[in-house]
Amino acid sequence: MSELKTKVVSKEPVLSLAMDFLAVAQQAAIASYPWIGKGRKNEADGAGTKAMRDRMNLIDMTGVIVIGEGELDEAPMLYIDEVLGTGNGPHVDIAVDPVEGTTLMSKGQDDSITVIAVSSRGSLLHAPDMYMKKIAVGPKAKGHINIDASLTDNMISVANALGKDIKELTVMIQDRPRHDHLIKQVFDVGAKVKLFSDGDVTGAIGTALEEIDVDILVGTGGAPEGVIAATALKCLGGDFQGKLAPQNQEEFDRCIKMGLSNPEIVLTIDDIVKSDDCFFVATGITDGTLMKGIRKTEDGSILTHSFLTVGGMDEKIQFIEAYHRY
């Protein structure tokens, strides 16, 4: 019986694992929940990381961490190149952030989430933990962005694609001094800025959802988050471009070591996620733009709110509320 199961499962596509990884995201978020507002982000991240790893090891797959908690000498769990799963089933690349927005969570603020991106083996970019210049848009503006052009030129192009006046655009930018020149360009054309403090994955996804008032996400942030956001946007039919931004020779050399022969080349969404056999799942920890946070009910159950989007399917989006009894 076990041999038959192995043969059948090994032929299943990556998408067959989506519900398994939904459970992974839920458990990681629940494990982090007790640390909300406690000012101890390392403990929160550690709890989410352990729960995530434990649950992934139960899945019939051979999963390799390509975006995780760091190198082997930096992280005891979910380190880059760690192999997880039972060894049966699909071979996949996995990009994770058990607690995206650890600072937000530690301060009891909104938009802290658990995020996971999964794709067929060898298809996700091995992005080093450094800065990446990014621009993201939704499906209607796909093919109308150029990361090497000015933000002003990109706003003109996106506005035309969306059938909007440029003054109607909303541009989401992380509130950092390094982005002052971007904020000025938005103000100069009369468009609207939407600033955020930490975690840009939610903002990137927001460009692809009509319910969220974001047309463009732009700025320089973490490269690992860029890979995760690009996977979500690929599933949603949106567009993403990135460009690694090494800050010194050590970071430049690290790119070379990880197989990126030209670290400063423009990376399209298809360079970052080379397969349509992919999915993205997130669970809210604190309330946010995309999802509600973890809640406890009167009977002691825990209520989670999650978001799932998969590549290569017509039904691209699911919001899932689930009760967990303990």
What residues form the annotated binding site?
45, 69, 97, 100-102, 131, 176-178, 198-200, 222, 225
Cβ neighbour number for residue 145 with a 10 Å cutoff: 23
Beta strands 278-284; 192-196: pairing state? unpaired
Q: Taking Cα atoms as reference points, which of 214, 315, 318, 230 lies closest to residue 275? A: 230
C-alpha to C-alpha distance for 118 and 62, rounded to whole angstroms:
12
Token pair for 27: 């458990």
What distances in angstroms separate CA 212 from CA 104, 138, 163, one per listed residue? 20, 11, 17
Q: Do residues 246 and 258 lie in contact, with contact meaning Cβ atoms separated by under 8 Å? A: no
From the annotation, which residues make up the binding site for substrate?
Answer: 100-102, 131, 176-178, 198-200, 222
Tell me if 293 sits within 8 A of 284, measured CB to CB: yes
194: nearest Cα among 167, 165, 217, 228? 217
How far, in whole angstroms, is CA 122 from its chain's centroid?
18
